[in-house]
Amino acid sequence: MKYIKYIIVILIIIIIHSCAKQSTPMGGPKDEEPPKLLSITPENESLNTKPSVIELLFSEYVKVENPNKGIIITPRIKKDEMEVTALKNKVTIKLNQELEDSTTYVFNFQKTISDITEGNVPENLKLVFSTGPEIDSLTFSGTVAYTFPQKEKKMKDVLVGLYTEDDTTNVLTAPPYYIGTTDSVGNFKLTNIKEGRYLAYAWHDANNSLKAEEKSEAYSFLGDTIVIDRDVRGANFYLDKSNVSEFKINRSASVGSNFDVVLSKDPLEINVEAEGLNENLYFRRNEKTLRFYHTSLQNDSLQVRLNLKDSVGFQIDTTLYAKFEESERRKEALEISLEGQKNFVEKLRAEIKLNKPVNRINYDSLIIKYDTASVVPVTEDMLFFKDSLMRTRLILEWKVPDTLSIENFIVYAGDSTFIDIEDQFNKDKKETSYRRLKKETLAEEIKVTVNTDERPLIVQILNKKEEVVHEQFLTDTNIATFINIEPSTYYIRAIVDRNNNRRWDTHNILENRQAEPVYYLENPNDNNNKETTVRGGWTLEVVIQPRIPIGLAQIPRLPENEMDDIESEIDAHWEQLLKLFRQNNVDNSTN
């Protein structure tokens, strides 16, 4: 308890020092004063009241904007039946519904009420009343963060909600019973909660619907039921997107001479079993569509077995009959692009992407150029498919000889270099530059230790575009060593690959399964910054610390009498602080 006294003394010194500072008013006569609340009916913290109408009277004319969405009301009521109007300096709320017995209601007006001239908003405008003989006073507090860094550093439009244990709805289907917002750094505190058992969620509410949109908004859940019979502190949420809508085949049909399978979601894993696969049967994926091609079948069907998995682990395991028909429909044109890391150290690695499965390659027009006239012919042993089942990604690798002192190279593919399985040629030439880096300009080594006993781990270095440029998969150690790293600013992170599938997996609320943990290397000088600067000639040794796990922090639950003693001591010190604060203001005003 002695530490509480020290903390409060420091707070007193800081507040008195800051209050003693005086400044000169800036600007012109613009009205910057928010409306003052003169009265509210029922009165704040009223007991045994069941109002049908709530009235707020202000010191000046006011307006309301989007009240049915902007006013946060807990516990949940039917807000679509509520009528909110502003007339001169009075706001009237007609509830048009019966409130629950022995329940504490909180109306948090946020930014819905403002003056009509400059739009100034009253701060912390809130109404609390009870339909019973006492005000519920329990709280639920903690922090919310995103699993992956967001462009916007300050947290915005993030809500936290509690659903009663027997509620058949959840964060994806309806607003919660209790709801609150986070501040700009992710802290939250829900107040005036009735004792009970609850399920807790957090979500990014971009469309202000008071629930999460599973296909577009990030959300999180604690999983276990929370018993709130005293104040609950230290809840941790990590937001990420998880689409748990049904994974199914929406449509399958012949399209021209091909056969399409249209899915409800993007497949993450694709396994195809069929006679003649990659001999005369080929396929490609274009977002949610699988297109099958057959080089010999006409007006006939072929049995194809599909085993597909989406990002949350849902599977489709089915057998269908793909029918290939004669068609005079114009064939889809073959298009290619050259990608891959543009800078390399020893081995040039380019990725050739095609929109259709490739069948043949004309090596005469596929070359690597350097200087003004020198070329290296690309040979068959320099190319391989990224996925042998889906022949739409080719990897070109060439180890540049040490005797060649050239830095800049161009991968060139002329027109008609690639021929797809429908005998279509690429009509346009493509070329992309790649640069060999000098070793003396590189960071010699980055040694990354992940401070966890969990395995396996995926340790990644990402560029500012959040593209993975280096990666290691660890099974027997928690230390990854990267050499010859180009000087730049990076993100360094570790993924705990709990299901050993060599990728990160999001949560699944329907199966009560949490996402795999992701830990970032934090900037020691800025906890909100995950960027790491790497310079040439450097050798770095860094440690990635695990984040506090999702759920409730393991805070000891003290007996009620001890908790009461601590709270009484804090209240006493707080009264002294307020007394000094008021006295300091009086002294400043007389000066």
- We report the CATH number of the domain holding residue 82 as 2.60.40.3710
Are 345 and 407 in a shared domain? yes
Given a contact cutoff of 8 angstroms between Cβ atoms, the answer to whether 551 and 517 are in contact is no
Residue 181: predicted pLDDT: 93
Q: Is residue 102 part of a domain?
A: yes
Domain with 76 in it: 34-135
Are 253 and 345 in a shared domain? no
Given a contact cutoff of 8 angstroms between Cβ atoms, the answer to whether 201 and 220 are in contact is yes
Q: Is residue 146 part of a domain?
A: no
- We report the CATH number of the domain holding residue 520 as 2.60.40.1120
At residue 187, φ and ψ (nearest 5 deg) are -80, 145
Q: Is residue 330 part of a domain?
A: no
Pairing state of beta strands 488-496 and 468-474?
A: unpaired
Q: Is residue 167 part of a domain?
A: no
Are 283 and 347 in a shared domain? no
Q: Is residue 164 part of a domain?
A: no
Q: What DSSP line would sit under 473-527, residue for residue?
A: EESS-SEEEEEEEPSEEEEEEEEE-TT-SSS----BGGGTBPPPPEEEPPBTTBT
Are 423 and 500 in a shared domain? no
Q: Given 135, 159, 179, which residue is the final one in a domain?
A: 135
- Structurally, the chain folds into a number of domains equal to 4
Are 319 and 345 in a shared domain? no
Are 359 and 276 in a shared domain? no
Q: Given 78, 111, 135, which residue is the final one in a domain?
A: 135
Q: Given 81, 106, 135, which residue is the final one in a domain?
A: 135
Which amino acid belongs to residue 253? A
Q: Is residue 236 part of a domain?
A: no
- For 50-204, list the strands marked E by DSSP: 53-58, 62-64, 72-74, 83-87, 90-94, 104-108, 113-115, 126-130, 138-146, 158-164, 178-181, 187-193, 196-204
Q: Is residue 366 part of a domain?
A: yes
Q: Is residue 171 part of a domain?
A: no
Are 383 and 347 in a shared domain? yes
State the average pLDDT for the chain: 89
Which amino acid belongs to residue 18? S
Which residues in the chain land under pLDDT 70?
Answer: 1-31, 527-528, 554-591
CA distances from 225 to 11, 201, 527 (A): 37, 11, 31
- We report the CATH number of the domain holding residue 360 as 2.60.40
- We report the CATH number of the domain holding residue 266 as 2.60.40.1220
Q: Is the pTM of this model over 0.75?
A: yes
Are 428 and 393 in a shared domain? yes
Are 426 and 461 in a shared domain? no
Are 503 and 540 in a shared domain? yes
Q: What is the pLDDT of residues 325-361, one digit of tens each?
A: 999 899 999 999 999 889 999 999 999 999 999 999 9
- For 400-487, list the strands marked E by DSSP: 408-413, 418-420, 430-436, 443-450, 457-462, 468-474, 479-485
